[in-house]
Amino acid sequence: MDPEASTAPRASFGERLAAARSARGSLCVGIDPHPALLAAWGLEDTPAGLEHFALAVLDAVGPVAAALKPQVALFERHGARGLAVLELLLARAADAGVLTIADAKRGDIGSTMQAYAEAWLGEGRPLAADAVTLNPYLGFESLRPALELAAATGRGVFVLALTSNPEGLSVQHAGGAESVARSIAAAATAENIGPAPGHVGLVVGATIGDAAQRLGLDLPALNGPILAPGIGAQGAGREALAGAFGDALPLVLPTASRSVLAAGPDAGRLRTAAERTRDHLA
Ligand SMILES: O=c1ccn([C@@H]2O[C@H](COP(=O)(O)O)[C@@H](O)[C@H]2O)c(=O)[nH]1
């Protein structure tokens, strides 16, 4: 191996995601090994079943998706052995050149946030992904350790702004014209200075209808990626995406889990389901 290559800093997450979207199209596929899906695939709800499922999704879908998004909760429910599977998946994805977004929704006071940042974004850490989802309920500024470490390591973050679930309204819409969601979006935008696509993204559900416009979020100004869950199993499709995002659509990375994963275990069907979803949404 060229010793210089191993120490060269990686490009920023924004640049790497933009390249992946150009090469593989604009879909993120979630890896959510729900017990019912494992059963439908003929797998046991065990770490071994989990490993088979996760690696099969990587092999089948990795080549046609801009990123994969393992849902950390579904690995955590298997304890240490489940996390070992997640660690293996992240390593294999990195070897295959497939970007990963760990859907961990972390957020805590600064001193603890530092540890979360190192766990999910730290160079050489076993669970480090290309990006992680963050929960700003303790205040956007509490996320500072993750924002800084992501920038330093060429990784990214996606901060929850308007989530896809109906219960999110009670918190995220609060505040009227100065809503919580609007302030989170503005704070994220302020992080993405410079011409290149920024590394601070937002999570905005594809199911939100016209909420972003009504609440005055300036999403086209973000200069970073918008991860949009809610596709398929939660009811959103192409029209919902267009209605929710308008001029911000070029920033949007839709993500679908159950609706794609249900096409397995056959690798060809799984890949076709991902390609159809991606092409339908384009
Ligand atoms: O607002 C949010 C934030 C995260 N999620 C996560 O995305 C997937 C969606 O799965 P589907 O099977 O496509 O519904 C899941 O891991 C959620 O925890 C979200 O849905 N909404």
Of 49, 109, 57, the closest CA to residue 75 belongs to 49
Region 13-29: what's the mean pLDDT? 97
Closest atom of ligand 1 to 162 CA is: 1
Residue nearest to atom 6 of ligand 1 (CA): 229
229 CA distance to ligand 1 middle (Å): 5
Q: How far is CA 201 from the centre of its chain?
A: 9
Residue nearest to atom 7 of ligand 1 (CA): 229
> Could you tell me the domains of the chain?
3-281 (3.20.20.70)
Is the interface score ipTM higher than 0.95? yes
Residue nearest to atom 11 of ligand 1 (CA): 257
Q: What is the predicted pLDDT for the residue at 138?
A: 98
Position 2 pLDDT exceeds 80: no
CB 57 within 8 A of CB 29: yes
Percentage of the chain with pLDDT > 90? 94
Model confidence pLDDT, tens digit, residues 190-228 = 999 988 899 999 999 999 999 999 999 999 999 999 999
Q: What is the predicted pLDDT for the residue at 7?
A: 59
Per the residue annotation, which of 21, 24, 105, 155 is the catalytic one? 105
Ligand 1 pocket (Cβ < 6 Å) reads 30, 32, 71, 103, 163-164, 203, 205, 229-234, 256-258
Which amino acid type is present at position 71?
Answer: Q
Q: pLDDT band at residue 176, thresholds of 50, 70 and 90?
A: confident
CB 237 within 8 A of CB 231: yes
69 catalytic? Reply is no
Q: What is the predicted pLDDT for the residue at 5?
A: 47
